[in-house]
Structure 1
Amino acid sequence: MAQDAGWGGGAYGGAPYGGSPYGGPPGWGGWVPPPKPGVIPLAPLKLGDVLNGAFSTMGRYWKQLFGMAGALYGGAALVMAAAVAVAYSAVAHHMTELTSLGYGEDPTSTDVVPLVIAGGVLVLLGIVVMSVVSGLMYAAVPAVLQEAVLGRPVAFGTVWRRAWARVTPVIGALVLTALIVIVPMVLILVAFIGVIISLVAMDDGGGSAGSVTAITLGVIGALATGPVAAWLWIKFCLAPAVVVFEGQRPLAALRRSAQLVRGDWWRIFGITLLAGLMASTAGYFIQMPFSVLGVFPGMIGTASLDDDPSAAAVIVAVSGYLVAALLGQLVGQIISTTFPQLVTGLLYVDRRIRTENLGPVLAEAAGAPAPPPPPPPHAGGVPQE
């Protein structure tokens, strides 16, 4: 849309807000703070600006953010619960047959195969559902930030439409990033397994030495791939925001993210790690009360079971605990997902302000007053000859 045109790629002229071109050189006393129409000042952001901006966005736009997250994760939970119920009703007889086997009795393939198929279908369905949910959330958060940075309201329906319109390229960017990060780790893992097999095949009674060598190689492999994976992940972490803010396709978004991160990797890594730790800690403490509350109905339900309960009876008995744990997981997931994405989106805005001087364009889009021009060279002092 027209008022969002300034979010696209490209560099912009002019000096950054808060710099001397707008307030004169040091000592003139005319420095003007950068405009702040929304949740952040339109100038290079410090750590406090990023965190305050993320918290402010959660406070001002909580209906859009938490409403979207609750609807998506709650809907995913209902879909998976319904799928589990259907799968259980389809294979309940086979599960009963397996659980009733006596000691030394082998299960038949007619009972095992349906359970394996049902489990595989549930796993695939879970992957698809969570991919869509994650894609929508990674698209919805930047869609909210587009307006939060400019200080404009945005309706829930608008956020939903923008997120749905960009969900496919966002999922593509996330999948490509995951593949790029995982590939070196998989290669090392394959080589590690090959070395273990070779050591076992060549072992002539020196099992202890072979095990030590295998463990050493595994540790070295983990130490080698961990930093590479972290470097790649941070390099491409801005790709979802690029997709939403600039309308880029997945591959172009990855290249654009790498361009924006260049020269500021350590700072982005530190802030991203801090945001993840803060969100994980908050999610853990949020889940604790739900887990404690779920213990009591679980204890009451299991106390009523007989000596040989069926699988259905066990599920019903612990259903209270499962529901409480699911609610705690849902609320914790909303927090631990939303906050880091807000921080990442603000880091994207920060990098564009620093490298492309996006601040004046955003101020114009927000209708913020333009900074005053610099004073003439002789203002407030002796005229120059």
Structure 2
Amino acid sequence: MSFLPAENISASLTQIIVEAIAVQDGWIGFDQFMAQALYTPGLGYYANDSSKFGALPYARQAGVTVAGSDFVTAPEMTPLFGQTLATQVAQALQVTQTTEVWEFGAGSGALALQILEALAAQGQALTRYSIVDLSGSLRARQQAKLAKFSDTVQWVNELPDTLQGVVIGNEVLDAMPVKLLARVKGVWFERGVAVGAAGEFIWQDRPTALRPPLAIDGEHDYLSEIHPQGESFIRTLADKLSTGAAFFIDYGFPEHEYYHPQRHMGTVMCHRSHQSDTDPLADVGLKDITAHVNFTGMALACQMEDWGVLGYCTQARFLINCGLVARMENATLQERVRAQKLIMEHEMGELFKVIGFYKGEPWQALGFAEGDRTHTL
């Protein structure tokens, strides 16, 4: 595997985006910029060879300090996450009488490995585990990690016309491109990207008829996002899933919290070397760009395609309902400490939410047995 120096990645990707802006009247919407910054083949953040997932920004290998990851996800933090999620997956497979799992955005493959091992230990029949991931650079890493399940795991670049089974996505929706809407002195604009005099990317607003789904009280300037691509993804998935269920874990809010008047700076964030910043226009291709999820929008999108909501709750409540505490009791002290971060309110427990969808008849999912917040959507 070849690795381009960081400065080459950013310079090459910058040139591609500059050219895209030039042919589109000197301006592109932020959603297009975000898509190119994250997914341009070979250069976008999720499509290049840089290390992304892990617990530390730097690691020791053979006595040498090497570049580490940019952020840590729950399955990288502790295998108890995937093992606990597998309890819900197993129930969903049994209730829907299906034998396939579809994972979107599989990262390093850690979650897939945890779920596959846990399902095998439970004796849960599984005919196929399909990974849908736009990041070709991660496929080799996933294949190596999942080698012992090579007869079960397959990688696909696009969805078939129909599918069945249980769909999972951990921190997938937050990486889908968003449109930025800015209210400036009472007038709404779409905030996009242009090129400055020195060749740098700059913000530029254009008038728009687009609006947030809720009216924003007050006259103050306001910046937020709308999620047409994420909602379109949910509708497409709902249309293609003939039988089964889906579970998405991500950080975000219901609509009335997302568009609260006090949340006037939006939710777009960047992540690199375990540091966060709010400037997606700098160092393109070298850092993650995300936006919080509007879970109400996702729920409404699913209902437009005859898909129902199984439940919606905090990650903490979901994992506790699925038996995390019992697993922690049998784990090492180090594993218990790591697992606590999954459910502690000031860590991942409250900010991260889980939403579940179903096709067919509704049923009581283990993860939403207590603490269901569907009524808040």
Structure number with greater CO (CA < 8 Å, separation at least 6) is 1
Tell me the TM-score normalised to structure 1 length. 0.27
Larger gyration radius, structure 1 or structure 2: 1
Higher helix share: 1
